[in-house]
């Protein structure tokens, strides 16, 4: 398993570092921009926006330090970078089947579950590296911008942890799709579709009363960074859902892979 | 059969959906130390057979054993005895050749005792190994795959069109390496449609077509059974009836040159020609290619 894991990490290292640097820089720059924010102007601007636009910040008070920084964790750029990391990592097994790497590896005395287990761990490591680099960017911001002083490093960490779990789950769902696919593109397509549908469902549930009951069906619904930053705690339901999605999808992927054929 | 076969397939079949089977009811036994050429045109089922034998594909019917280990129930023990070069060689392109070789070596329980010899034989330098695989040519990647498969000195070597991408010099060197391994008692299962290689290396051939095993024979036996083309030059007029032997056909006389075909052993013909003192005799060697062609063009049934 260690051999496959080290190979998987080595080949994804450059991509992971680039995505991590991008996320770290983005969170730092957004934090830095808070010093130029006029809280009252921002607050009145947000209140004047139609509900469809307010929903992008999940109803948080983005004029406050915690709301402002919290909104960066659900900014489309943050979500895209995390999703790219998780989906690329989750789809690795299907890409390996497609290119014949899986055939080469599994013609050695290596269990299929050990092979996929290593790919899943590699995906988790990639998501962790990118999330940590993003967290570092945000930490630098709160230590350099006086106006962000009310935000503690601990609450920032507590906000980043469910973000990591959310995308670990999306990566695991992509790995599940990969265990049913023979091409990387197909697995990436399914992983991307899952993330987009989850995002759209969460968004619709906030802006459209009819869709509101469907909100909890989206994995995104359970991640509310601004309220975590504001309250300093993560609801138990958030832990349960995010951990549950990651574990169930990962276990299903392993079960399917133990039976699957791995020829290109 | 008391002895443990290197590879034993019993009633092996593989189907996808409702189409014709990729492999149907194949019974094949490869003895330890044997060199078996596995021949067939594209799509005949060669790769499917190999993938079933390695547990990469799950057979629809039947079973395969490698040195007594059932691949369905004891895959890891079976694969611990095997070195395999796939037809579509997939490598992780972002890592160096050395790292890839090391990684593949660590996945195998047998130490890579032959690596240095193979690297020398196949002209892969330490500098080559230091490069990333994405900078390798097709031939270099293929050489790396061959070293990776054979570096453990596995008792059973399974090769799926292994010389694709190698230049003629490297092909010859690789066949020489295989010949050495076979002389050391290793089993070589050599799937190919390059008949010359199989002819040169193998003792026995198995031919497949449409997923079915057509025949399994000794190469020499096949050669002996095939028609040869013979040309005899005499000093004067000679009646072909004076030296006619069984197996002669299509006799054509052009001046002092006689052309005909001959099946079977040429010994009696040479005995018959001796007293006639021919000036020259040319007997074209029977080639495996002729057998292959005749089988696949329809007269092999």
In 3-state terms chain A splits into helix, strand, coil percentages (rounded to 5) of 85, 0, 15
Output the average pLDDT for chain A: 90
Which residues of chain B are within 8 Å of residue A3 when distances are taken between CB atoms?
103, 106-107
pLDDT of residue A123: 97
Per-residue model confidence as pLDDT tens digits over A138-169: 999 999 988 888 888 898 899 899 999 999 99
| Residue of A14, A97, A107, A126 to mutate for B, most B C-beta atoms under 10 A | A107
Q: How far apart are CA B140 and CA A256, in angstroms?
A: 35
The whole-number pLDDT of residue B299 equals: 47
Q: CA B229, B235, B241 angle in degrees (round to 5)?
A: 55
Residues of chain B in contact with residue A263, where contact means CB-CB under 8 angstroms, are: 51, 56-57
Contact present, A39 and A63 (Cβ < 8 Å): yes
Residue A257's pLDDT is what?
94
Of A220, A120, A129, residue with least CA distance to A178: A120
Asked if A96 and A105 count as a contact pair (C-beta separation under 8 A), the reply is yes
Looking at per-residue confidence, does A67 or A218 come out higher? A218
Smallest CA–CA distance, residue A111 to chain B, in Å, is 8
Closest CA to A176 of A234, A232, A129, A123: A123
**Nearest C-alpha of chain B: how many angstroms from A178?**
17
pLDDT for A63 = 75
Q: Do B76 and A111 touch (CB under 8 A)?
A: yes
CB pair distance less than 8 Å for B58 and A264: no
Mutate which of A109, A112, A259 to test chain B, going by most B C-beta atoms within 10 A?
A109
Length of chain A: 264
What number of C-beta contacts closer than 8 Å exist between A and B? 76
pLDDT at B295: 65
Residue B94: closest C-alpha in chain A: A11
CA-based angle A167:A169:A173, to the nearest 5? 115
**What CA–CA distances, in Å, run from B100 to A14, A112, B115?**
18, 19, 13
Report CB contact under 8 Å: A106, B56. yes
DSSP tag of B125: -
Nearest beta carbon to residue A262 from set B56, B77, B99: B56
pTM metric for this prediction: 0.84
Kindly report the nearest CA distance between residue A23 and chain B, in angstroms. 24
Confidence category of residue A135, pLDDT binned at 50, 70, 90: very high
Decide: residue A202, CB within 10 A, 0-12 exposed, 13-18 middle, 19+ buried: buried
- CB-based contact A10 B99, cutoff 8 Å: yes
Dump pLDDT digits (tens) for A10-65.
Answer: 999 999 999 999 999 999 999 998 887 777 777 777 777 777 666 666 656 677 88
* C-beta separation of B101 from B126 below 8 A: no
Neighbours of B132 (CB within 10 A): 14
How far does A77 lie from chain B, in Å, by closest CA?
27
Q: What percent of chain A has pLDDT over 70?
A: 96
CA B245 – CA B268 distance, rounded (Å): 7
User: Considering CB atoms only, which of B54, B77, B93 is closest to A107?
Assistant: B54
Which residues of chain A neighbour B145 with C-beta distances below 8 Å?
A: 104
Residue A263 φ/ψ region, left for φ over 0, alpha for ψ in the -120 to 50 degree band, beta for the rest = beta
Q: What is the ipTM for the molecules in this complex?
A: 0.81
What does pLDDT average to in each consecutive run of 10 residues of chain B (301 residues)? 84 89 93 93 90 94 95 95 91 93 94 94 93 93 94 96 87 91 94 83 91 88 75 92 87 92 84 91 74 60 40
A5 close to B (CB below 8 A): no
**Is B212:B195 a contact under the CB 8 Å cutoff?**
no
């Amino acid at each position: 398993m260690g051999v496959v894991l080290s190979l998987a990490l080595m080949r994804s290292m450059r991509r992971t570092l680039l995505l991590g640097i991008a996320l770290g820089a983005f969170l730092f720059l957004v934090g830095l921009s808070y010093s130029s924010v006029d809280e009252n102007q921002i607050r009145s601007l947000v209140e004047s926006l139609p509900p469809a636009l307010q929903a992008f910040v999940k109803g948080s008070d983005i004029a406050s330090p915690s709301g402002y920084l919290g909104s960066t964790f659900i900014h489309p750029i943050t979500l895209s970078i995390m999703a790219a990391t998780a989906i690329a990592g989750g789809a690795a097994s299907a890409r390996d089947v497609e290119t014949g790497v899986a055939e080469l590896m599994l013609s050695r005395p290596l269990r299929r579950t050990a092979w996929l287990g290593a790919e899943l761990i590699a995906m988790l490591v990639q998501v962790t590296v990118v999330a940590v680099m993003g967290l570092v960017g945000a930490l630098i911001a709160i230590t350099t911008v006086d106006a962000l002083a009310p935000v503690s490093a601990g609450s920032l960490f507590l906000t980043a942890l469910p973000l990591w779990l959310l995308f670990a789950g999306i990566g695991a769902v992509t790995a599940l799709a990969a265990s049913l696919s023979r091409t990387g593109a197909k697995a990436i397509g399914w992983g991307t579709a899952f993330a987009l549908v989850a995002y759209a469902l969460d968004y619709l549930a906030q802006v459209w009363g009819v869709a509101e009951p469907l909100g909890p069906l989206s994995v995104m619904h359970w991640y509310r960074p601004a309220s975590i930053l504001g309250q300093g705690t993560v609801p138990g339901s958030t832990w349960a859902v995010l951990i549950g999605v990651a574990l169930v999808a990962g276990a299903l992927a392993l079960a399917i892979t133990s039976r699957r054929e791995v020829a290109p | 059969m008391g002895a443990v076969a290197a590879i034993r397939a019993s009633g092996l079949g593989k189907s996808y959906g409702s189409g014709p089977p990729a492999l149907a009811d194949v019974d094949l036994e490869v003895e330890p130390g044997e060199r078996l050429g596995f021949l067939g045109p594209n799509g005949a089922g060669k790769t499917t057979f190999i993938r079933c034998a390695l547990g990469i594909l799950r057979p629809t019917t039947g079973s395969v054993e490698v040195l007594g280990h059932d691949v369905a129930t004891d895959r890891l023990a079976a694969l611990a005895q095997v070195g395999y070069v796939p037809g579509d060689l997939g490598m992780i392109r972002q890592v160096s050749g050395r790292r890839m070789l090391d990684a593949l070596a660590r996945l195998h329980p047998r130490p890579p005792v032959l690596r240095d010899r193979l690297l020398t034989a196949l002209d892969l330098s330490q500098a080559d190994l230091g490069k990333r695989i994405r900078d390798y040519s097709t031939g270099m990647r293929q050489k790396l795959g061959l070293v990776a498969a054979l570096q453990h000195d596995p008792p059973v070597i399974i090769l799926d069109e292994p010389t694709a991408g190698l230049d003629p010099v490297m092909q010859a060197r690789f066949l020489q390496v295989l010949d050495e391994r076979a002389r050391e008692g290793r089993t070589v299962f050599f799937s190919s449609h390059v008949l010359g290689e199989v002819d040169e290396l193998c003792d026995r051939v198995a031919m497949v077509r449409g997923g079915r095993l057509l025949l399994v024979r000794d190469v020499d036996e096949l050669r002996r059974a095939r028609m040869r083309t013979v040309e005899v030059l005499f000093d004067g007029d000679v009646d072909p009836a004076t030296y006619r032997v069984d197996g002669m056909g299509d006799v054509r006389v052009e001046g002092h040159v006689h052309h005909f075909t001959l099946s079977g052993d040429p010994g009696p013909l040479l005995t018959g020609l001796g007293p006639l003192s021919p000036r020259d005799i040319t007997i074209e060697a029977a080639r495996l290619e002729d057998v292959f062609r005749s089988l696949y063009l329809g007269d092999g049934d």
